[in-house]
Chains A and B, each alone.
Chain A
């Protein structure tokens, strides 16, 4: 069974600032489960002028310690493919989990666009889905844990992005959230 969530959020910062902050978001102390993020390929497409990036996310295992017999690793990987259209001002991030694919599959799509009612703000839409493929009595607990982890990482991630937006707007050159 696939668990799905949809969220919208408004950043009171311009699209250019929010998207720049997004590149710098990880790692940050608000989101300790994301250990690192690396760019593995990036280019500007000759045909459409879009920035196309692939990044590798290294995170802590989504499985609680007591259930580690399900997965024999402390680390999980996810890959994010993104496209930025600088003319239409649209950024789309597509994240999907890589490890333990026969046990759990997680996907997240985020789109950033200027807010339709205020061009100085940015509207974020997030679609998240998670499927645990194990048939154990623990499935609903695992689903609940995944949802909790997603919701808290989303809330904390926004704090990190907001701080970065402030740094960028104050003309500081942020490297990462400190």
Chain B
């Protein structure tokens, strides 16, 4: 199931990146998001850990032919943005 075409094992890499991201997110959720109420706009949520994790996610979605989930989300956000103006 895992592809090793280019020596890249997405399952293993994603597991590590995911664990780091989830650990960071849990801390942020508890200490920043819930405590502060509304964090400043533009603040990235665990940006460094997310960048690593997102790399794997995009590959995984592509392999499973589920990239449209990201596009759908982008369209939804664009429409919401329009409505709220």
Interface residues of A (CB under 8 A from B): 16, 19-20, 23-24, 38-44, 46-47, 49, 51, 54, 56, 77, 79, 84, 86-87, 98, 173-175
Contacts and interface: CB of A to CB of B under 8 A. Distances in A.
Interface string B61-85: 1001010011001000000000010
Contact of A16 (B14, B21, B30, B42): B30
B22 A20 contact: no
B70 A40 contact: yes
Nearest to B42: A46
B60 A38 contact: yes
Contacts of B26: 20, 23-24, 173-174
Contacts, number: 69
Given A38-B14, A44-B41, 20 more contacts: A16-B34, A23-B22, A23-B25, A23-B26, A38-B18, A38-B60, A40-B57, A40-B69, A40-B70, A40-B73, A42-B50, A43-B45, A44-B33, A44-B43, A49-B39, A54-B69, A77-B64, A86-B34, A98-B66, A175-B23
Interface string B20-55: 011101100110011001110111010000100100
A79 B69 contact: yes
A16 B32 CA distance: 12
Contact-size category for B: 20 to 34
A87 B36 CA distance: 9
A39 B51 CA distance: 12
Contacts of A84: 33
A20 B33 CA distance: 11
25 contacts: A16-B30, A20-B26, A20-B29, A20-B34, A24-B26, A38-B18, A39-B53, A39-B57, A40-B57, A40-B61, A40-B69, A41-B73, A42-B45, A42-B50, A43-B45, A46-B41, A46-B42, A51-B29, A54-B73, A56-B61, A56-B69, A86-B34, A87-B37, A98-B66, A174-B26
